[in-house]
């Protein structure tokens, strides 16, 4: 069909192509959300066609503007635009192809197994998707990190190379989620004037009209955050949209939100402005009536009229290609192009780990692993210039302060800073770090382990996207003492370990910390949780015990039996390894052959081949005892059904940490007694307060 057979101007033709592709895909899948793409097609079209600095031929161009679809349920809006704009597919190794990122065939396979058009946009799976979205609010929160990265890269490499803007499209649900407050407040404080949120103000959620639960004055709310607040009274008014977007570009002291009044399911005679247009297909008859309203052939499916893709090519395609070519010329003349290439490919500078500290044995006073971590972190950050450290108002408590020359705070007007103060905003902190990582910075953020719960949705998305974010958690057990059960983590370790694609590393002493950092920095396609102590722990004598290099394999034999195979294997992580060593020494004096296995990272250990794992934990009938000040869930895989696990079965207590640990049985004497009992019985015994459950 030619353009002339549909009596529409080319701009309206493009907009209605976005709408009808979305309608048809949802209808064929019998699943999805047609209403938002129908309403927001003019917004997406105006932004992409006339404003976005984006090269469809290379969607990895580092200085491209970012477009985030925070209301990810409207994914067909994005897939339609990616198809019509001619965005190319990029392989995992960054190789550009001539294949479309989203072909018409893939649109027809919307929400089907292995299609490139999943129900919600997925980073790394579909080229052109800047971040995985779906959990409402997280897209806009991630966009804050992207805007932050643009500011930092502009200061580091020059604004002629990095000055990209970030646009995020959000719905009512995004602004209802608490993370939107955290993220908006942070962005307002930092005066991120390269950030623009477009709020789809359609007054509808799944349950019905938003007035059921939500009557916020959004304009006043964002004025209070220090944002530039604009309003477009009709999503179909492209002229007003254009003026608002230009106003955003002219604003240089604060982020912008454009409140766009829209009609969900626009054009549907019976479902417009109702929840029926939100989360289900329109239905065959309503599809025909809607297409009739658009002036579209009623029976045409997945129709892309002649001239539509060509028009996109003349707009965003030509503009993006020209801007990208100019950028490449500037890059060629930059003395920093090698550093930029290294950063963009998630590589590390030569010698980044050449001077990592080795700690002298100190089994008396010892050193908290958080403090050892700070020394290692500073060594690495000084050699990896794009490493950024932050904290949720616990910079010194979690020991993430950068102290080398030039490591000042990231603040308004000081966008080259390496230290970010996120404030008490854990969810915003983790999502901002994902945004920075998506722009190829190497971020870490920190809080207490128990408060990882506030950030869990963001940690999960970093794992889904396989981003090398470092989540650093301290105060990792009941050993933190007086703050009591509200601050003493119990279930958090097990919860984090249950998450796919997340390496959880809990080092036992300062030298294990060094190796934990080495392991973490080497993980370029998945996040890491570093879990560290508040309290001092011994620095083991490595002339007596095995090298901490075993951390690189996730687990290793730290101390072994003399005079034959072990009859007892003591397994522990973190601060409890010292208890295992103490019991090992006491039992050796009694003639018991025991082995101590330090198991700081289950995920890395499980990736080792079976021969190595069997070497460390042989199936020779030895009795196994695991010790960890947390939930026992998961330890069964290492001790077996007949093994003993000394862990926590209740919440902690408020008292000095030595008293708390004694209360729950985490002493050398108790571990030794448990091991004796397990040996005597040849298997599992009751441990700690397990009997009280």
Backbone φ and ψ for 119, nearest 5 degrees, come out as -55, -35
Which residue in 46, 130, 426, 629 is the catalytic one? Answer: 426
Which among 608, 625, 512 is positioned nearest to 566, based on CA atoms? 625
Q: Which residues of 588-602 are buried (b: 16+ CB within 10 A; e: fewer)?
A: eeeebbbbbbbbbbb
Which among 438, 416, 417 is positioned nearest to 156, based on CA atoms? 416
Residue 132 CA to chain centroid, in angstroms?
Answer: 9
CA angle 51, 52, 54 (to 5 degrees): 145
The span from the CA of 503 to the CA of 517, in Å, is 12
Q: Which residues contact 23 (CB under 8 A, 6 or more apart)?
A: 34, 37, 38, 282, 287, 290, 291
Long-range contacts of 318-326 (CB under 8 A, 24+ apart): 319/53, 320/52, 320/53, 320/54, 320/55, 320/56, 320/57, 320/61, 320/64, 321/55, 321/57, 323/53, 323/55, 324/55, 324/57, 324/58, 324/61, 324/64
Would you state the structure tokens that stand for residue 198, as one six-digit string?
């477009």
The span from the CA of 23 to the CA of 28, in Å, is 9
Whether the Cβ atoms of residue 293 and residue 269 lie closer than 8 Å to each other: yes
- How many other C-beta atoms are found inside a 10 Å radius of the C-beta of residue 693? 6
Element (H, E) at 320: helix 318-332
Q: Which residues contact 620 (CB under 8 A, 6 or more apart)?
A: 565, 566
Tokens 């050993």 label which residue?
479
Whether the Cβ atoms of residue 156 and residue 440 lie closer than 8 Å to each other: no
The span from the CA of 20 to the CA of 335, in Å, is 48
DSSP letter (8 states) at residue 3: G
Helices (H), 226-280: 238-250
SS3 88: strand
Would you state the structure tokens that stand for residue 557, as one six-digit string?
């034999």
**Is position 426 annotated as part of the catalytic site?**
yes
The span from the CA of 303 to the CA of 405, in Å, is 59
Beta-bridge mates of residue 229? 257
Element (H, E) at 323: helix 318-332
Beta-bridge mates of residue 67? 167
The span from the CA of 670 to the CA of 666, in Å, is 7
SS3 63: coil
The span from the CA of 4 to the CA of 7, in Å, is 6
Which among 431, 412, 342 is positioned nearest to 155, based on CA atoms? 412
Which among 105, 107, 217, 161 is positioned nearest to 439, based on CA atoms? 161
DSSP letter (8 states) at residue 258: E
Element (H, E) at 453: helix 452-464
Cα-Cα-Cα-Cα dihedral sign, residues 306, 312, 317, 322: positive
Indicate the burial class of 443 (C-beta count within 10 angstroms; 0-12, 13-18, 19 or more): buried
Q: E strands along 405-487, which residues? A: 419-421, 442-448, 470-474
Q: Would you please indicate which residues are annotated as catalytic (active-site) residues?
A: 426
């Amino acid at each position: 069909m030619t353009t002339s057979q549909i009596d529409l101007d080319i701009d309206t033709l493009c907009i209605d192509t976005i709408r009808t592709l979305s309608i048809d895909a949802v209808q064929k899948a019998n699943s999805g959300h047609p209403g938002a793409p129908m309403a927001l097609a003019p917004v997406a079209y105006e932004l992409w066609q006339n404003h976005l600095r984006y090269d469809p031929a290379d969607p990895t161009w580092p200085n491209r503007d970012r477009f985030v679809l925070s209301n990810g349920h409207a994914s067909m809006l994005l897939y339609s635009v990616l198809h019509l704009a001619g965005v190319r597919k990029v392989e995992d190794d960054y190789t550009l192809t001539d294949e479309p990122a989203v072909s018409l065939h893939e649109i027809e396979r919307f929400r089907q197994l292995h299609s490139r058009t999943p129900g919600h946009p997925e980073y790394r799976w579909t080229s052109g998707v800047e971040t995985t979205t779906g959990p409402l609010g997280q897209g806009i929160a991630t966009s804050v990190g992207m805007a932050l990265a643009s500011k930092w890269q502009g200061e580091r490499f020059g604004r002629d190379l990095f000055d990209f803007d970030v646009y995020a499209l959000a719905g009512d649900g995004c602004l209802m989620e608490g993370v939107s407050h955290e993220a908006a407040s942070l962005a307002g404080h930092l005066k991120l004037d390269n950030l623009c949120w477009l709020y789809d103000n359609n007054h509808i959620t799944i349950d019905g009209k938003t007035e059921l639960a939500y009557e916020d004055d959004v304009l006043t709310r964002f004025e209070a955050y220090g944002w530039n607040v604009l309003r477009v009274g009709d999503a179909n008014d492209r002229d007003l949209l254009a003026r608002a977007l230009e106003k955003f570009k002219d604003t240089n002291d604060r982020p912008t939100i454009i409140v766009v009044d829209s009609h969900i399911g626009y054009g549907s005679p019976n479902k417009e402005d109702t929840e029926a247009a939100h989360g289900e297909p329109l239905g065959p008859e309503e599809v025909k009536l809607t297409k009739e309203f658009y002036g579209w052939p009623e029976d045409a499916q997945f129709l892309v009229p002649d001239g539509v893709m060509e028009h996109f090519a003349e707009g965003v395609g030509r503009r993006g290609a020209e801007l990208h070519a100019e950028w490449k010329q500037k890059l060629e003349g930059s003395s920093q192009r090698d550093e930029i290439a290294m950063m963009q490919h998630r590589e590390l500078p030569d010698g980044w780990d050449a001077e990592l500290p080795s700690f002298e044995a100190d089994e008396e006073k010892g050193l908290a692993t958080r403090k050892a971590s700070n020394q290692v972190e500073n060594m690495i950050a000084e050699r990896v210039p794009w490493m950024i450290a932050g904290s949720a108002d616990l910079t010194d408590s979690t020991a993430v302060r950068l102290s080398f020359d030039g490591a000042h705070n990231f603040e308004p007007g000081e966008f080259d800073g390496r230290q970010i103060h996120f404030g008490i905003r854990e969810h915003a902190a983790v999502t901002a770090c994902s945004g920075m990582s998506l722009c190829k910075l190497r971020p870490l953020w920190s809080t207490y382990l128990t408060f990882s719960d506030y950030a869990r949705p963001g940690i999960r998305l970093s794992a889904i996207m396989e981003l090398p974010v470092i989540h650093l958690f301290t105060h990792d057990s009941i050993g933190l003492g007086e703050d009591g059960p509200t601050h003493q983590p119990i279930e958090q370790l097990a919860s984090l370990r249950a998450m796919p694609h997340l390496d959880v590393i809990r080092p036992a002493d300062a030298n294990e910390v060094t190796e934990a950092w080495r392991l973490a920095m080497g993980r370029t396609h998945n996040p890491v949780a570093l879990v560290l102590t508040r309290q001092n722990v011994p620095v083991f004598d490595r002339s007596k015990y095995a090298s901490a290099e075993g951390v690189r394999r996730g687990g290793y034999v730290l101390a072994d039996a003399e005079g034959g195979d072990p009859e007892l294997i003591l397994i522990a992580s973190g601060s409890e390894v010292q208890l295992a060593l103490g019991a090992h020494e006491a039992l050796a004096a009694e003639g018991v052959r025991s082995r101590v296995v330090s198991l700081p990272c289950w995920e890395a250990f499980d990736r080792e081949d079976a021969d190595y794992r069997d070497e460390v934990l042989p199936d020779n009938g030895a009795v196994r005892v695991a010790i960890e000040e947390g939930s026992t869930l998961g330890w069964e895989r290492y001790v077996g059904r007949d093994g003993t696990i000394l862990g926590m079965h209740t919440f902690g207590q408020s008292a000095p940490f030595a008293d708390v640990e004694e209360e729950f049985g985490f002493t050398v004497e108790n571990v030794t007694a448990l091991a004796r009992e397990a040996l005597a019985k040849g298997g599992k015994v009751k441990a700690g307060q397990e009997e009280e459950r």
